[in-house]
C-alpha cells in the first residue's frame, strides 16, 4: 500500500512539473513573433476529424493580424490588427471592439517550426506551422 501511495505521489509531482514547463514556455510576446500558418483545428488531440483552416496569423509589435481568412463564398479576407499579450504562459488576444475583453489560448506544444494552442473558450486545438 505504501508503494502505491508513493507511486501516486511521484506521478502527481511529475505531472505538476510537466504542466508548469508548458505554462512557462510562452514568457513574452517575442516567443511567437512572425507568421504562423493555421493549418487545421481539432476538437481534441485524439480526434481524427480535422477542420482545415488555411489562414495565417502574423504576430508583430504586440499586434496580431489574421490573414487569408476563408469564407464560404467569395475571396479570403484579412481581419483588422488587434493587440495581443503573453501573460501567465497564455496568449491573450484582444477582441475587436470590446475593450478589456480577450480570447485566451493556452500553449499545448511549441517547437521552432510548430505550435499547438488550445482555445480556452471552446476547447478547440489549433495546429500552426511557422512560415
Q: What's the whole-model pTM score?
A: 0.77
Q: How many CA atoms lie within 13 A of 110 on its CB side?
A: 20
pLDDT by residue, tens only, the chain of 131 residues: 555 544 444 454 444 444 434 444 688 888 899 999 999 999 999 999 999 999 999 999 899 999 999 988 889 999 999 999 999 889 999 998 888 899 999 999 999 999 999 999 999 999 999 99
Give the containing element (helix H, strand E) for 54.
strand 51-60
Amino acid at each position: 500500500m505504501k508503494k502505491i501511495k508513493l507511486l501516486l505521489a511521484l506521478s502527481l509531482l511529475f505531472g505538476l512539473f510537466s504542466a508548469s514547463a508548458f505554462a512557462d514556455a510562452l514568457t513574452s510576446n517575442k516567443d511567437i513573433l512572425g507568421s504562423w500558418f493555421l493549418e487545421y483545428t481539432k476538437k481534441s488531440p485524439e480526434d481524427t476529424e480535422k477542420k482545415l483552416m488555411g489562414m495565417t496569423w502574423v504576430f508583430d509589435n504586440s499586434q496580431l493580424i489574421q490573414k487569408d481568412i476563408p469564407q464560404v463564398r467569395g475571396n479570403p479576407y484579412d481581419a483588422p490588427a488587434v493587440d495581443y499579450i503573453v501573460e501567465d504562459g497564455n496568449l491573450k488576444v484582444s477582441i475587436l471592439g470590446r475593450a478589456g475583453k480577450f480570447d485566451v489560448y493556452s500553449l499545448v506544444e511549441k517547437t521552432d517550426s510548430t505550435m499547438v494552442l488550445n482555445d480556452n473558450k471552446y476547447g478547440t486545438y489549433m495546429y500552426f506551422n511557422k512560415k
